[in-house]
A = this chain, B = another copy of it.
Amino acid sequence: MSLVVVGSVAYDGLKTPAGERARALGGAATYIALSARYFTPASIVAIVGEDFDQQDVDFLASRQIGLEGLERVPGKTFFWAGVYSDDMNDRTTLATELNVFAGFDPKLPESYRSAPYLMLGNIQPGLQRSVLGQMARPRLAGGDTMNFWINDFRGELLETIKDWDFLLINDSEAKLLSGETNLKRAASAIRAMGPKIIVIKRGEYGAVLFHEGGHFSLPGYILETLKDPTGAGDCFAGGFIGYLASRGVSPLDGTATQEDLARAVVYGSVMGSFCCEEFSVDRFRTLTREEIDTRFDEFRRFTAF
């Protein structure tokens, strides 16, 4: 395969102004892989419990997502529940039940170890480091993190991201990690920690990529129908690395141009925007590559001057 994705496979309890779901397929690895799969072969490393529905396995398998690394153990699958604010820009966590995820110790199947692209979803930094350590050095490896790890696992996080090529992080977390309120200075500070490519996600406002040659900034896609923003950041990640993997390029050996990186951000944004249109992973049950490319062209039209 081309891309290894590590992270949670979970069930989510979702409540948004558009409705609710008591138990819907979710998890960072799920969203990342479903999104990336439109661009490149992808395989998951994750853990689920005995309660994980066969129909969800079937759905992932129907997308030809590699499941050799999906461990199934006694116990219950990771469960998260949250409720979104009226404008869906904020959410309150109602429940986080780690369940089998508490004992997650990712073991990469042999067939995964030489994959050229690696996306580490938002999990404990030590686990992210362990996964990268099990691989022959990928051509491009990076991941996501969150305020919890930045605040309470700072040392371990710094030890982990120093080996990454890229970091996806949101606005406020970039400021938290760097101690800088200015976005440019925050990005410089984080680049000095290791990852040479920083993508700062700004929710509905878009994303900014910083790299050696400067930066690329993209406004958000303005959705008319927004049902559930859960997983949008992960779908961004999937589109971003999926596109780079599909091009077979890496910024590290000079084979990815600034244009490749910029387009990866656009594809990331396209995938994040589709994710929000339905609850859970439902948009990916019907989404076609043609719709993706149509929206990419739409981005071109509404940003050209």
Q: Which residues of A contact B (CB under 8 A)?
A: 86-87, 181-185, 202, 205-206, 208, 214-220, 222-224, 226, 259, 262-263, 265-266, 299-305
Q: Which of B184, B202, B205, B214 contacts A224 (CB 8 A)?
A: B184
A222 touches B217 (CB 8 A): yes
Chain B residues whose C-beta falls within 8 Å of the C-beta of A219 in the assembled complex: 205-206, 208, 217-219
B303 close to A303 (CB less than 8 A): yes
User: 6 tightest CB-CB pairs across the interface, nearest first?
Assistant: A262-B305, A205-B205, A217-B219, A219-B219, A184-B224, A87-B181
| Copies of this chain, whole number | 2
B contact residues around A226 at 8 Å (CB): 182
Give Cα distance in the complex from A299 to B305, angstroms: 10
Rounded to whole angstroms, the CA-CA distance of A217 and B300 in the bound complex is 10
In whole Å, how far is A91's beta carbon from the nearest beta carbon of chain B? 15
5 contacting pairs across A/B (C-beta < 8 A): A205-B206, A206-B219, A214-B301, A217-B222, A265-B305
Report the bound CA distance from A266 to B214 in whole Å. 19
Contact A259 B216 (CB under 8 A): no
- Bound together, the chains give a CA A266 to CA B305 distance in angstroms of 8
A208 to B86, alpha carbons, bound, how many Å? 22
A302 CB contacts on chain B under 8 angstroms: 214-217
Known interface pairs A182-B224, A205-B206; 4 further A-B residue pairs with C-beta atoms within 8 A, sorted by A's residue number: A182-B223, A215-B222, A215-B302, A303-B303
